[in-house]
Amino acid sequence: MPRTLLAPNPSPMTLDGTRTYLVGRVRPVVIDPGPDNPAHLDAIMDALQGHAPSLILLTHAHADHSAGAPELARRTGASVAFGAGADGWPWWRGAQTRELSDGDTVETDEGVLRAVRTPGHAPEHLCFLLVDGPERGALLGGDLFMGGSDTTLVAPPEGDLSEYLASLDRVEALRPTVLYPAHGPPIPDAVAAIGRYRAHRAARIAQVEAALADGPASPGELIERVYGPELNPALLGAAEGSLRAIVGHLTNLGRIRPAGAGRVQLRGSE
Ligand SMILES: [Zn+2]
């Protein structure tokens, strides 16, 4: 298992916090340095034991993964590398950056990592697959997965459910052995887990279609119909965002259409 450092930023959206992974000991990389938290950055520096990382890799630019990257870059001299589309974020001022494309590889003394473009949670999202070494087949999955859960946040404007489902297919085709998510514990049964993620989303999509069979609704109005009244209020925004993503996906598929006043309806129900 890659060395793992848990950042002190627990929340309903980050579970017990962001996991920073270190792959390699003599020529290491740091994946997702996490929030700009001095104690966490100190812990990363201790774990590096004086070996400067060859790169600081980001799965995506959300602050809970990336805001500590410029300070870690300053402390180590390493460049920050991320997928196309992350360069518009404000964090990088002053840091050396490098854009990674799908298929780009990064060498460490514990194996070669290959970038896998996986938009859906965020447009610039990358996963990193270990393609050799003792952990060959392990996938560092960022926020494509959440350990201990069968779902992750996919919400507009950054999230796109059609892209997310395509990314699940892409990752499944790589036949990973184990998933290391950025939040929550490792997921050992990787391929079965990807099936559970797909099934969870398919069930939600079916729920939304069933709810729309009762008549046109806005994403806000769908919350009660889909999640029921017992939804944790802290998750209300995430729930509405997820429903917006499903509405976008069903629109892409041509199964629903606008019904005015922010509402949508099933095609064929008018
Ligand atoms: Zn994220």
Mean pLDDT in consecutive groups of 10 residues from the start of the chain, 270 residues: 95 92 98 97 98 97 95 96 85 85 97 98 97 96 93 92 98 98 97 97 95 93 88 87 95 95 86
Q: Which residues are catalytic?
A: 64
* 236-252 vs 161-173: helix crossing angle, rounded to 10: 80
Terminal-residue alpha carbon distance, the chain: 54
Q: Which of 165, 199, 233 is the last residue of a domain?
A: 199
Would you state the pLDDT for residue 91? Answer: 73
The Å distance, Cα 122 to ligand 1 centre, comes to: 7
Q: What is the pLDDT of residue 269?
A: 64
What's the CATH number where 7 sits?
3.60.15.10
| 189 and 216 both lie in a single domain | no
- 199 CA → ligand 1 middle, Å: 21
The verdict on 67 and 30 lying in the same domain is yes
Measured CA distances, 174 to 127, 229, 249 (Å): 11, 39, 24
Amino acid identity of residue 113, one-letter, is L
Give the pLDDT confidence score for residue 61 in this predicted structure. Answer: 94
Q: How many CA atoms lie within 13 A of 100 on its CB side?
A: 28
Say how many Å lie between the CA of residue 269 and the centre of ligand 1: 36
Q: Quick one: the chain helix, strand, coil %, rounded to 5?
A: 35, 25, 45
Q: Look up the pTM and report it.
A: 0.94
Look at residues 145, 166, 199 and tell me which one is the last residue of a structural domain.
199
Number of structural domains in the chain: 2
User: Ligand 1: distance of its center to the CA of 139 in Å?
Assistant: 16
Residues 155 and 240 occupy one common structural domain: no
Whether residues 159 and 249 share a domain: the answer is no
